[in-house]
Structure 1
Amino acid sequence: METALWWVRNDARLHDNAALVAAAEAEELLPVYVVDPRQYGEQPYGGRDSFDFEKTGAYRARFQRETVADLRAALDAEGSGLLVREGRPDDVLAELAAAVDADAVHYQALPAPEEREAARAVVSTLGDAEVRTEGHWTSTLHHVADLPDGIQGIDDTFTPFRQSVENDSRVREPLPEPSLPPPPDLARLDGGRGAVPTPEELGLEQPEYDDRGVLAFEGGETAGLDRLEAYVWEDDDLREYKRTRNGLLGADYSSKLSPWLAAGCLSPRYVKRDVDRYEAERVANDSTYWLLFELRWRDFMAFQTAKHGGQFFARDGIRQREDIDWADPGTDPTAREQFERWKRGETGIPFVDANVRELNQTGFMSNRGRQNVASFLANSLRIDWRRGAAYFERQLVDYDPGSNYGNWAYVAGVGNDSRNSYFDVVKQARNYDEDGEYVRHWLPELRGVPPAYVHEPWEMDQKEQAAYGVVLGEDYPEPMVDLEASYEEFR
């Protein structure tokens, strides 16, 4: 009788899951989720010029806990179950494999170096114990084996990549949910079924939902499928996606699928199948195409991490730029003060501050906000972009290594773009928050400021400040930098 372990990683779902399908071919199956302590608390960034940062914040910790609880309920309903253990995956899986006399361990293969190193340790340790291991690619729209030129042949610019996969690759059909065999006798295992620690047990504050947020993100496959159903079918929002995707307020200006995609609660191939059906049954337009375009951008960043490895996360990036004099908050007091103000949303630049406060209060920020917030830190302040990206890693409920660090490097001019460019924050704010509704939503101290000044309160004289109820330097900060001067210096 063959016994298999399914090591659950960022693939906490029953639908379209190659690792689960393969593991379910055994006569006995033990699904296992491992809480790795290296993912929590203060951890080193790694590599040259490393620094320490808080790795996982309260919003993502809560989302992960909900995700595991939902997976456990789904497995229980199928006559299976889920074991949760804390420790290094190689140690935990080796111990469990020995305890149940496992023949094989199936797991999700991931592209980023940290995740690949964890898998290598598991493969090595179980190999010494003569336990078979098999990785399965389950996280992207296009399978890694279907790339026209393989990982190393991927162009470092998105457009050629997109054209190659659109023209010369395919998107595989989602796999059906398998019938699950029973688990082995768990009476011989110590520790019971186990549970994911609460945020408090991880040393984090229990986050409370802020009703100013765009959506109450709940972890798990059930919630992810519900969100897809609501956005595409019930509310029929997909037909307007391209026009509304740069919105800032409300649940439905964009799909908001990223947290469930990042945690693996939702398969991108399943999303594409819904888009294909929507095009057949309702409408095919630039919005339906653009959602798939964004999934391919996500693929691009995932495959770039696999191609470039650690260099993708290095300060000089894949362009290996050593011509930028990055300020280091670890050694430069001015940069440290600026970075702390940036993290608190107290830069004195309303569009930056509103977006950062939304992130701090909800674990989410729009794509438009992320680009502007990143550009301000990296291009106007010239603070080491990795510091900002690491802060996003901690705060974001939808953190994904490739998408987060790849997009930060892109904006900072060290990643997948040959151009040096920046975001004019005030111009962007006027384009996407014309009347200042978003800024006032998150910066109540500016609620009385009219649209003419809400994005540039420093343009008000003292009489106007008094009339509108905000005194700069008292009610709201003075700007920490002259934006126009910073753009001129950048140019």
Structure 2
Amino acid sequence: MNSGPIPQVVWFKRDLRLQDHAALHSAALAGPVVALVIVEPAYWRGPDTSGRQWRFWRACMADLAEAIARRGGRLCLRVGDAVAELEALRRDIGAFALWAHEETGNGFTFARDRAVRHWARGQGIPFVELRQFGVIRGRGLNRDHWAAAWDAMMEQPLLPVPPVIWRTAPGRDALPGAAALGLSSDEAEASAAAGRDAALAALESFLFERGEHYTSAMSSPLSAPDACSRLSWHLAYGSVSMREVWQAARNRYAALPREARHWRAALRSFMARLHWHCHFIQKLESEPEAEFRPFARRYEGLRPPSDPARLAAWAQGRTGYPFLDAVMRALQATGWATFRMRAMLMSFAAYDLWLPWQEAGLVLARAFIDYEPGIHWPQCQMQAGETGINTVRIYSPVKQGMDQDPEGRFIRAWVPELARVPGAWLHALDRMDGSQRQALCPDYPLPIVDHGAAARAAHQAIAALRRTREARAEADSVQQRHGSRKRSTARRGEGRSSARTVGKKDMPQMQLDL
């Protein structure tokens, strides 16, 4: 009879690293480790996944496999349903303990993890899930203590790569390609930026070279690609841990002289957004239905089913609003956009086009390489005005273009149909008469809606609902479940306020909701 320790299977999902990895660290102390990854075709056939996400995840996984191989191990690759593959692994290697990080994913991963826990209980398999973000598992969270718990976790020492006794297990030799999973090819190609080394290089360059003007440069699509950290996809796939990033930023801030005013402001802003990252994921963790239903149920049915023609025009960057179309086309081509631009895109879909945030949100989810469900879905309904507690903000695509791309350089780069339009008309195509438009930009569409009229209609519909007694009562419940406790509702903007169209000066970069 084998009296040695049973294998410790570490299931890597969206935590594709060895450093500061709680599940790996604990498993290595308990016995020989099997490093497991399961490619789930059913997940990749979902409506919110895309080939660009697969390529990035695949590149991160290949990087992880190489890191394990350098330490004498071998990644066990399985392809199929998670429960079926775990059961097959049990038949192959016998009893084992299963370790993983807690995941706040989409509806598919939520149901899958419940199925795995049910299977593990039935088979007598210990299944231990450990935190990797400042997110607390389960419903019924008391938000009064959440911020302090987040701070405490971020201050814990980083976990080193433990000494591991690797155990091999049967699996496939290579990761499948996108076509094998039924994923279509798309234009975005960012896999060269994937993996641990790329994550650390981005963090280093941001903290010491690129980030000095982060606060002022993060909004414009002209300056944001360099000024922003560009760590969002690395955090989404776990090639670097949140705690690593937090502590690196904190240490850099502590070392700065007081006269480094821009750097200090930039890092304060950046660290606040790390906190914000987990604050929003916590919303979906505490209420998984938020992927499909508004936090404030009174808003269900507010918008009719999507108009396919309007949805397609918006998704393709063919709305007739140059700056908005440029942002959408750049996103579709690169897989990334700055926060303000993401908010503007959702605002236009939800208010100007009056599309359901669930349907517009799927378009954006597939486009974002850094798609993080816990951030994405609460943000979608917040930008659509359906949380019941956040200030409704309707972006003017013309005003945003004048503020963020005054010379039209970004527009001309992504909307070549407008290359010949003089600068004076670029943000106001309605100043041209029909003959001028035919001569200068015959292939560019007329505005799909009148922004002013659409904004007023959206304002009236949402304001009327918010004035009802039932909506006010429900807002109090949403605030209790998901609202911040650090600042007053009035200062935070999480109150029941009227809708308005915002420009640059009266809109902070994001509703931090800390």
Query: Structure 1 residues 207, 230: closer, same or farther in 2, change over 3 A?
Result: farther
The residue aligned with 1:131 is: 125
Distance 2:113 2:191 in 1: 32
In 2, distance between residues paired with 1:321 and 1:314? 14
Letter in 2 for 1:13: R
Aligned to 2:247, the other structure's residue is in SS state helix
CA contact (8 A) 1:355 1:369 kept: yes
**Residues 370-420 of structure 1: CA distance to partner in whole angstroms, max 9, x if unpaired?**
111100000111111101111122221000001111111110011373333
- Do residues 152 (structure 1) and 130 (structure 2) align? no
Counterpart of 2:494?
A: none
Deviation by residue 1:97-130 (Cα, 9 ceiling, x = unmatched): 3311243000111134543322221121122221
- Secondary structure at the counterpart of residue 392 of structure 2: coil
Q: What does 1:291-440 correspond to in 2, within 5 Å?
A: 291-310=270-289, 312-315=290-293, 317-322=294-299, 325-329=302-306, 335-415=307-387, 417-440=389-412
**Which residue, 45, 48, 57 being the options, matches 1:55?**
48
What CA deviation, in whole Å up to 9, does each residue of 1:118-145 have, x standing for no partner? 222112112222111100111x2x3538
Write the deviation string for residues 46-89 of structure 1: whole angstroms up to 9, x where unpaired: xxxxxxxx332121111011011000000000111211111111
SS at match of 1:107: strand
The answer to whether the aligner puts 1:239 opposite 2:212 as a matched pair is yes
Q: How does 1:212-223 map to 2 (within 5 A)?
A: 218-223=193-198
What is the distance in 1 between the residues matched to 2:242 and 2:317?
A: 33
- For residue 271 of structure 1, report the CA deviation from its aligned partner: 0.5
Equivalent residue of 1:144, what SS? Answer: coil
| Alignment of 1:198 onto 2:177 | yes
Q: Cα 1:220–1:102, aligned 2, differ >3 Å: closer, same or farther?
A: farther
1:196-246 per-residue CA deviation (whole Å, 9 max, x = no partner) reads 221222233444567xxxx7752222221221122223xx22232111111
CA distance in 1, matches of 2:150, 2:102: 23
Partner of 1:70: 63
**1:236-270 CA distance string (max 9 Å, x none):** 22232111111203531211110110111111110
Aligned equivalents of 1:97, 1:216: Cα separation in 2: 33
Q: Distance in 2 between matches of 1:87 and 1:466?
A: 54
Aligned equivalents of 1:27 and 1:490: distance in 2? Answer: 59
Number of the residue aligned with 2:10 = 6
- AA paired with 1:287? A
Letter in 1 for 2:269: W
TM (norm. structure 1) is 0.85
| Cα distance in 2 between the residues matched to 1:435 and 1:375 | 23
Deviations 1:23-57 (A, max 9, x none): 2123321111111122122x4xxxxxxxxxx3321
Kindly indicate whether the alpha-carbon contact (under 8 Å) linking 1:83 and 1:193 is maintained by their aligned counterparts in 2: yes
Q: Could you say what secondary structure the match of 1:422 adopts?
A: strand
Q: Does 2:413 align with 1:445?
A: no
| Distance in 2, Cα, partners of 1:265 & 1:463 | 54
2-side partners of 1:221 and 1:104: how far apart?
A: 27
- Are 2:253 and 1:279 aligned? yes
The reply on whether 1:257 has 2:231 as its aligned counterpart is: yes
Identity %: 26
Hey, what's the Cα distance between the residues in 1 that align with 2:381 and 2:123? Answer: 41
- Residue 22 of structure 1, aligned match among 26, 31, 45: 26
Task: Establish whether residue 121 from structure 1 lines up as the match of residue 115 from structure 2.
Answer: yes
Aligned to 1:470: 441
Amino acid at match of 1:79: G
Hey, what's the Cα distance between the residues in 2 that align with 1:270 and 1:416?
35
Following superposition of structure 1 onto structure 2, how do residues 82-231 of structure 1 map, counting pairs within 5 Å?
Answer: 82-112=75-105, 113-138=107-132, 140=133, 142=134, 144=136, 152-154=141-143, 171-184=155-168, 186=169, 189=170, 192-207=171-186, 218-231=193-206
State the alpha-carbon separation in 1 of the partners of residues 381 and 89 from structure 2.
Answer: 40
Distance in 1 between the 2:70 and 2:36 partners? 16
Contact 1:85 1:194 in 2 (8 A): no
Specify the alignment match of 2:485 in structure 1.
none
* 4+ residue runs over 6 A deviation: 165-169
**1:177 Cα deviation from its structure 2 partner:** 1.4
Which is further off, 476-485 or 449-458? 449-458
Aligned counterparts of 1:205 and 1:85: Cα–Cα separation in 2: 22
SS at match of 1:85: strand
Alpha-carbon distance between aligned partners in 2 of 1:123 and 1:173, rounded to the nearest angstrom: 29
5+ residue gaps, structure 2: 258-262, 460-514
The structure where helix makes up a greater share of residues is: 2
Question: Which residue identity is paired with 2:270?
Answer: L
Q: How many residues align?
A: 448
TM-score by length of 2: 0.81
Q: Distance in 2 between matches of 1:483 and 1:295?
A: 34
The 8 Å contact of residues 55 and 393 in structure 1, kept in 2 or not, is answered as: yes
Give the CA deviation at 1:166: 7.8
